[in-house]
Amino acid sequence: MTQQVPLLNLTGITKAFPGCVANDDIDLIIQPGEIHALLGENGAGKSTLVKIIYGILKADKGTIEWNGEQVSIDNPSIARQLGIAMVFQHFSLFDALTVVENIALGMENSVDLTELEKRILEISTNYGLPLDPKRHVYTLSVGERQRIEIIRCLLQSPRLLVMDEPTSVLTPQEVEKLFATLRRLSTEGVSILYISHKLDEIRVLCQTATILRLGKRVSDADPRKETARSLAAMMMGEELQSPARPPKVTHADKARLEVKDLSLEAIDDFGVDLKNVALHVNAGEILGIAGVAGNGQNELLDALSGERSCDSSNSITMDGNPCATLAPDARRRLGFGCVPEERLGHGAVPDMSLAENTYLTAYAQMNLTNNGMIQTTARDEFSDRIIKEYRVKCTGRQASAASLSGGNLQKFIVGREILQNPGVLVVSQPTWGVDAGAAAAIQEALIALAENGSAVLVISQDLDELMQISNRICAICAGVVSESIPTEQATVEQIGLLMGGATNQASVS
Amino acid sequence: MIRLERRSELSRAMTYLSPVLALVLTLLAGIALFSAMGVSPSAALYTFFVEPVTTVYGLTELGVKATPLILIGVALSIGFRCNVWNIGAEGQLTLGAIFGSAVALYFYEVEGFWLLPLMLVAGIIGGMAWAAIPALLRTRFNSSEILTSLMLTYVATLLLSYLVHGPFRDPDGYNFPESRIFHDSAILPIIFDGSRLHLGFALALLVVVAGWILISRSLIGFQLRVMGNAPAAGNYAGFSQKAMIWLSLMLGGGAAGLAGVIEVSGPIGQLLPQISPGYGFTAIIVAFVGRLHPVGVLFAGLLMALSYLGGENAQINLNLPLAVTGVFQGMLLFLLLACDVLIHYRIRFGKRSAIS
Amino acid sequence: MTLDFIVLALLTIITAATPLVFAAMGELITEKSGVLNLGVEGMMLTGAVTGFASVFFFESAIVACIAAMLAGTLTALLFAFLVLTLQASQVATGLALTIFGVGLSALLGQNMVGIAYEGLPTLSIPYLTELPIVGKLLFGQDFLVYLSLALPFLVAWFLYRTRAGLILRAVGDSHDAAHAIGYPVIRIRYCATLFGGAMAGLAGAYLSLVYSPMWVENMTAGRGWIALALVVFATWRPWRLFLGAYLFGGITILQLHAQAVGINIASQFMSMLPYVITIVVLVLISRDRNKIKLNAPACIGKPFHPAA
């Protein structure tokens, strides 16, 4: 194997940004036809390295050899010409245009659209990636959108296919299909650079792995020979702490949040209708709702938080109070708390200070308003309390929300809601895009809240996280929520099937 | 190579410096403009910006011209903060003048201290009613208030024309398109002897204070600011976007209507086909130059009033066309928007690194 | 309702619709790229005053129109620089452009008030132009009208049948995605905005050279704003836009020939018609949020910050 000329040979790649060294003297070798994993935590430098390979960034130091020859990849166009194709984590797709138009836009030269349609159908049937070229992208699910990106890459007959966190948007069954496609490509001689932090997947799929930590390459490994634990240890460089465990349920009979027969029409063609959603969360427990993005999570959250009003006020009750027609502030007064998926622009106002963002949801609850006037001292006190107790790294309460890192802002928002003592807390994607330290802190805070007697509902795409912290787990698919299963009895396959829409759903009338 | 680099925090210094910088640049541009027109720049700038306020009378005239600008400017600045773009203040001003005049003419020759307050209230109602149309269309039908309020301005001007040519025309006025001259009870009292400075100016100052308290210290002001910044967050907090839109437009309409009735019952004294040299539009500039802050609006209003006085003065003394005022005002706004960039960005010299 | 009247009415419709076609088509391209330019009124006025001055200075109608287009383009350049390069607010800058355009055109045109122009030369084909009814309508127009008739074809072909048009639509749909793929978003938006300016300038020239034909301060009387409303009404589709402009021309018939049609209301109310109808039209189309969301360029009005 070492006799071959490697397809891609990176030597001493270094790239620094103001304030941090993203890549520090990194070597990487990828052989033809190899499925190579790039492992590391959030912030380890994987994205930067890959952007250098694809020509979006230029390294400060180091050399790149392609097929034994030194090359300079100045922009994505050159990368594509060499035969490097990339499927990003965030797709570059145009909702209002059709599949074929989207793919045409990603190609170097002008192409005849009818010709292109034929080629798309060919590849899609060939590689098991069903796709209708004439459909508009906004009608497609996330998994289908990813297929567009993949087919766009395959049309250019790449030698190296780079995939950045591809499975965060797929159900377990869709992941299987993707792996089959990737293995097929590998046998055809295409190399795959697979970036992920999902250790079990990497052990199943990849032949070699390069592990990054804090910008440096720390080791190579053969994932097939390692355990998830040993890989994690290499990634994090320390003894694994015991994972978070779900709270002990003490009041299993007292339902604090009950949802019955909740139906809500989507606002427009881009949304998903909710159909007869039924669930309940008891005091002291965490219910997890698993699901791939775009299956009605936003609509469900809007219905629960009060941002959208329902027809029948009984569809949602909190501690027995019907509240489905109440506005968000009225629900907060009943003891409801909510952390939305989007931090900037939804959970917090980007250009306002943390103090003002504290006021955003606490203005009625914590005696911060008197006769319609803002009580600045009380507000500032509460703000400081959140910052202190949740260890939010910032320049103080006057720092703007936009200036905080993702993890710190999320800690602030979660802290703001929890410190208002909600009886029911609904959280959407609690640790998305958040560094490991902050993620752990947030998960602990949620568990502590539940153990204190509150009911916590967590909506998340991260199945591992839900399996770790929730007592019961269910899935949402196309606006329908399934029956819940106690987490200790649940398997990933089971939940995966439910996420994909298999019927096991509760349509309690 | 010059490029822009985004700042991590908004620059407070530039927030205050930017209007000053813009003003300086406008003056420079003015020098160029006057030279091109064959007028001595120093003479022109003096005539425009200094001479009008060298007398006490000039200062009071400043107050007279600034009153409507400040009134409308404060209200617009609150609305703009909420991302509600009321471009039709000129039309709302017209309706305020019409309603106020209607009351004055209905009670013609009837004396009483109650008439003036009634007129003012009528003017406010008129302006609000006219602003209610774009508010309704935006909240019910999702129509852009920019276009609807603007269209209504043209309608309002035509309505005024119809009224002064017809039902409101002075029967003893030799068929001129103007209303009767208002009688004493319908005229705003003068608050500075020997000048035209009237009670309206005091009202404008009150509005500045009220506006400041509202926007910075009250829950409602907070709601307006959040809605303008991040509507989804406002929704999440339980604020009603519809209520904020209505509030913004009602404030704007009411203030403009008040300004309108003040103009016809103060400096003008009757209803004419043209009662405003574009106060409703200039107030937009005033709001921006004033940083959307009531106190800033006060200063900006005085500055813009000066530009009106200067234009008139230059027309009389230097034979310059009145249109120069409009050019100055437009240029100031342009340059302000350009200078405002420095609040969000820093200027950097030198080569970029290879980042696409 | 004589035949003569019908011909006159149709001619009026064409004259009223043509400036709207130019201004609105230009704005449609601008908006399709994701830029909202509210300064159409200001650009039209600069075009009108420049076109009018040029036709006397250069003694050529064609040069005058080119000069008007240039004037519109320059004002659009000012807007584009502020909004695309300096990242200023699109709404505020567009308003500034209108206010500035009104003032500047008034200043430039003050010496020309009252001068009359004979109007653009019209086409004259022997025999064809003399045909009854269709003669003058189809074969007796000036070159700007014919250009305006070709415009929807050209714009539709560009948007939906060329790669450049596809890229333009992509930029308006998601500037981040377009940037990630490697398209020069800012450059494309500059081009679209400048085109909008050129068209607005041409629309203004039509007003001062054909419609009036003379220069009057603020002579656009809100047509720039009506053009903006038309773009929304047409849900950003060229052929619907053309239809909308001509429907507007129809309203003008009522306004100008009310007495002939037998309507006896004060002239001011008739003059209100275009503005009121604009509001109605806007409301009708905006009600359907879904339709707007599907057709409006998703990025319209949003500033583009190329992420490092």
Residue A394 neighbours by CB under 8 Å, 6+ apart: A354, A387, A403, A404, A408, A412
CA separation for the pair A89, A166 (Å, rounded): 6
| Residues A185, A189, A194: CA angle, nearest 5 degrees | 55
Residue B156 in tokens: 């309002």
pLDDT of amino acid B1: 60
The CA distance from C306 to the nearest CA of chain B, in Å, is 8
Partners of C275 on chain B (C-beta within 8 Å) are 151-152, 154-155
3-class state of residue A204 by DSSP? helix
Residues A261, A228 contacting (CB under 8 angstroms)? no
Section C145-155 average pLDDT: 94
CATH architecture of B67-319: Orthogonal Bundle (1.10)
Nearest of A31, A402, A72 to residue A222 by alpha carbon:
A31
Could you tell me the strand order of the sheet in which A191-196 lies?
A: A84-87, A160-164, A191-196, A35-39, A208-213, A216-221
Cis peptide upstream of residue C19 (ω within 30 degrees of 0): no
Any chain A CB within 8 A of the CB of C164?
A: no
Facing residue for B237 by CB, picked from A329, A345, A400: A329
Chain A: touching chains (3 or more CB pairs < 8 Å): B, C
pLDDT of amino acid C231: 94
pLDDT-derived band at B346, boundaries 50, 70, 90 = confident
- In the predicted structure, residue C13 carries a pLDDT above the cut 70: yes
DSSP string, B149-218: HHHHHHHHHHHHHHHHHTTTS-TTSTT-S--PPP-GGGSPPBSSTTS--BHHHHHHHHHHHHHHHHHHHB
CA separation for the pair A399, A356 (Å, rounded): 10
Nearest of A27, A119, A15, A37 to residue A64 by alpha carbon:
A27
**Backbone φ, ψ for residue A290 (5° rounding):** -90, 150
Facing residue for A75 by CB, picked from C169, C182, C290: C182
CB pair distance less than 8 Å for B4 and C87: yes
**Backbone φ, ψ for residue B18 (5° rounding):** -55, -50
Regarding beta strands A160-164 and A84-87, do their DSSP bridges make them parallel or antiparallel, or are they unpaired? parallel
**Would you give the DSSP letter of residue C207?**
I
The CA distance from B344 to the nearest CA of chain A, in Å, is 11
Any chain B CB within 8 A of the CB of C103?
A: yes
| Residues B158, B163, B167: CA angle, nearest 5 degrees | 155
For residue B128, the Cα-to-chain-centroid distance in whole angstroms is 16
Section C222-229 average pLDDT: 92
CA distances (Å), B43 to each of B34, B61, B168, B310, B316, in order? 9, 21, 44, 12, 13
| Residues C65, C66, C72: CA angle, nearest 5 degrees | 90
Chain B: touching chains (3 or more CB pairs < 8 Å): A, C
CA dihedral sign, ordered A194, A195, A196, A197: positive
Most confident by average pLDDT, A303-317, C131-145, C261-275: A303-317
Any chain A CB within 8 A of the CB of B226?
A: yes
**Backbone φ, ψ for residue A35 (5° rounding):** -100, 110
Residues A97, C173 contacting (CB under 8 angstroms)? yes
Give the up-direction half-sphere exposure of residue A41: CA atoms within 13 A in the CB hemisphere. Answer: 18
Q: What percent of chain C has pLDDT over 70?
A: 96
For residue A508, the Cα-to-chain-centroid distance in whole angstroms is 30
Q: Which domains, and CATH codes, for chain A?
A: 8-236 (3.40.50.300), 243-335+421-509 (3.40.50.300), 349-420 (no CATH)
pLDDT of amino acid B70: 97
pLDDT of amino acid A30: 92
Any chain B CB within 8 A of the CB of C86?
A: yes
CA separation for the pair A236, A105 (Å, rounded): 40
For chains A and C, count residue pairs whose Cβ atoms are closer than 8 Å. Answer: 54
CA distances (Å), C271 to each of C41, C90, C246, C256, C258, in order? 18, 31, 17, 8, 10
pLDDT of amino acid C261: 64
Nearest of C94, C92, C78 to residue C31 by alpha carbon:
C94
Residues A400, A350 contacting (CB under 8 angstroms)? yes
Residue B143 in tokens: 């129509």
Partners of C271 on chain B (C-beta within 8 Å) are 158
pLDDT of amino acid A507: 35
CA dihedral sign, ordered B192, B198, B199, B202: negative
Facing residue for C96 by CB, picked from B146, B165, B333: B333
Facing residue for A348 by CB, picked from B222, B225, B233: B233
Any chain A CB within 8 A of the CB of C174?
A: yes
CB pair distance less than 8 Å for B159 and C286: no
Query: B145-165 and B89-106 are packed helices; what angle lies between their axes, rounded to 10 degrees?
Result: 30
pLDDT-derived band at B226, boundaries 50, 70, 90 = very high
Q: What percent of chain C has pLDDT over 90?
A: 49
Query: B294-318 and B323-344 are packed helices; what angle lies between their axes, rounded to 10 degrees?
Result: 150
CA separation for the pair C239, C29 (Å, rounded): 13
Mutate to test the interface with A, among B215, B226, B236, B348 (most CBs of A within 10 A): B236
Nearest of B315, B335, B334, B336 to residue B325 by alpha carbon:
B315
Quickly tell me which residue has 């030597």 as its tokens.
A11
Residues C47, C144 contacting (CB under 8 angstroms)? no
pLDDT of amino acid A411: 93
What type of residue sits at position A206? C
Partners of C302 on chain A (C-beta within 8 Å) are none
CATH C-level class of C3-295: mainly alpha
Partners of C38 on chain B (C-beta within 8 Å) are 146
The CA distance from C292 to the nearest CA of chain A, in Å, is 10
pLDDT tens over chain A, length 509 residues: 456 788 899 998 998 887 778 888 899 999 999 999 998 876 778 888 998 998 888 888 899 999 889 999 988 888 888 999 999 888 889 998 999 999 999 887 777 888 899 999 998 888 888 889 999 998 888 888 999 999 988 988 899 999 988 887 787 788 888 999 999 999 999 999 999 877 888 888 999 999 888 888 888 888 888 887 787 777 766 655 555 667 766 556 688 899 988 988 888 777 788 988 999 999 989 999 998 877 889 999 999 999 998 888 888 999 888 998 999 999 999 999 999 999 999 999 998 999 999 999 999 888 888 888 999 999 999 999 999 999 998 888 988 898 888 889 999 999 999 999 999 999 999 988 787 788 888 999 999 999 888 999 999 988 888 988 999 999 998 888 998 888 888 888 788 778 777 654 443 32
DSSP string, C54-115: HHHHT--HHHHHHHHHHHHHHHHHHHHIIIIIS---HHHHHHHHHHHHHHHHHHHHGGGTT-
CB pair distance less than 8 Å for A74 and B354: yes
Quickly tell me which residue has 């929300």 as its tokens.
A401
pLDDT of amino acid B354: 39
* Backbone conformation region of residue C182, classed left if phi is above 0, alpha if psi is from -120 to 50, else beta: left
CA separation for the pair C46, B26 (Å, rounded): 20
| Residues B98, B103, B108: CA angle, nearest 5 degrees | 120
Residue A7 in tokens: 């397809």
Chain C: residue nearest A90 by CA? C177
pLDDT of amino acid A504: 46
Residue C297 neighbours by CB under 8 Å, 6+ apart: A96, C31, C32, C33, C34, C169, C172, C173, C236
pLDDT of amino acid C302: 84
CA separation for the pair B54, B74 (Å, rounded): 27
Any chain B CB within 8 A of the CB of C307?
A: no
CB pair distance less than 8 Å for C181 and A106: yes
- Total-model pTM: 0.86
pLDDT of amino acid B128: 97
Residues A298, A426 contacting (CB under 8 angstroms)? no
Residue ranges covered by each domain of chain C: 3-295
pLDDT of amino acid A506: 42
What type of residue sits at position C162? T
Residue ranges covered by each domain of chain B: 1-39+320-350, 67-319
Convert the pLDDT of each residue in C38-75 to its tens digit: 999 999 999 999 999 998 888 888 999 999 999 999 99
Chain A interface with C: residues with Cβ < 8 Å: 75-77, 88, 91-97, 101, 104-106, 110, 138, 267-270
3-class state of residue A23 by DSSP? strand
CA separation for the pair A404, A417 (Å, rounded): 18
CA separation for the pair A107, C195 (Å, rounded): 26
Facing residue for A307 by CB, picked from B8, B218, B235: B235
CB pair distance less than 8 Å for B226 and A360: yes
CB pair distance less than 8 Å for B328 and C103: yes
Facing residue for B341 by CB, picked from C87, C228, C286: C87
| ipTM for the complex shown | 0.86
Residue A244 neighbours by CB under 8 Å, 6+ apart: A440, A443, A444, A447, A468, A469
pLDDT of amino acid A502: 66
